């Protein structure tokens, strides 16, 4: 929602600041663990490719979205994770998981068709 308010400003810096805060919060857990080279490589791979590129794309697109649309679009990714697990591993999601996913995906679809009137059209 903060990013939607910064339409005129660059949103990349805001996204980077949020990620730095997340890294600082997670640093104690990292220091308490003993990661292997494969662990570090996996985290770097996922951090750059999965999160890094998607955050850059989101920060560029956020100027063209409302706050609600931005939140709903970001919600799709964790909702689709069980779908990818089912397709690749064969583990079926529970009935409640399917119901929750249907609610979120339904909200995204409804929001894409229903838009508030432009501000200039309001009395």
State both tokens at 82: 């069980």
Q: For residue 12, which of 47, 59, 77, 70 has the smallest C-alpha distance?
A: 59
Same domain, 49 and 94: no
pLDDT digits (tens, 9 = 90+) for 61-108: 877 877 777 777 777 777 788 888 889 999 998 899 888 888 877 887
pTM over 0.75: no
Are 70 and 4 in contact by the 8 Å Cβ rule? The answer is: yes
Same domain, 9 and 56: yes
Number of independent structural domains in the chain: 2
State both tokens at 14: 């805001």
Same domain, 6 and 56: yes
What's the pLDDT score for residue 82?
84
- State the Cα torsion 113-114-115-121 to the nearest 10°: 120
Q: What are phi and psi of 6, to 5 degrees?
A: -100, 35
Please state, in angstroms and rounded to a whole number, the distance separating the CA atoms of residues 123 and 119: 9
Q: pLDDT at residue 123 above 70?
A: no
Please state, in angstroms and rounded to a whole number, the distance separating the CA atoms of residues 43 and 52: 11
Same domain, 79 and 110: yes
pLDDT digits (tens, 9 = 90+) for 9-44: 667 777 778 878 888 998 888 788 888 999 889 988
Same domain, 13 and 39: yes
Same domain, 32 and 45: yes
Same domain, 75 and 24: no
Q: 79: domain range?
A: 66-123
Same domain, 49 and 20: yes
Where among 45, 64, 83 does a domain terminate?
A: 64
Same domain, 4 and 53: yes
Q: pLDDT at residue 120 above 50?
A: no
First to last CA, the chain: 25
Same domain, 39 and 49: yes
Same domain, 23 and 75: no
């Amino acid at each position: 929602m903060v990013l939607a308010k910064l339409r005129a400003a660059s949103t990349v810096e805001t996204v980077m600041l949020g990620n730095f805060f997340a890294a600082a919060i997670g640093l104690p857990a990292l220091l308490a663990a003993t990661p292997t080279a494969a662990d570090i490589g996996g985290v770097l791979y996922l951090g750059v490719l999965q999160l890094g590129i998607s955050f850059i794309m989101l920060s560029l697109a956020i100027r063209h979205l409302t706050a609600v649309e931005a939140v709903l679009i970001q919600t799709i990714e964790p909702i689709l994770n069980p779908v990818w697990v089912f397709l690749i591993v064969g583990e079926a999601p529970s009935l409640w998981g399917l119901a929750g996913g249907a609610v979120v995906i339904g909200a995204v679809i409804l929001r894409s068709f229903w838009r508030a009137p432009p501000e200039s059209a309001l009395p």
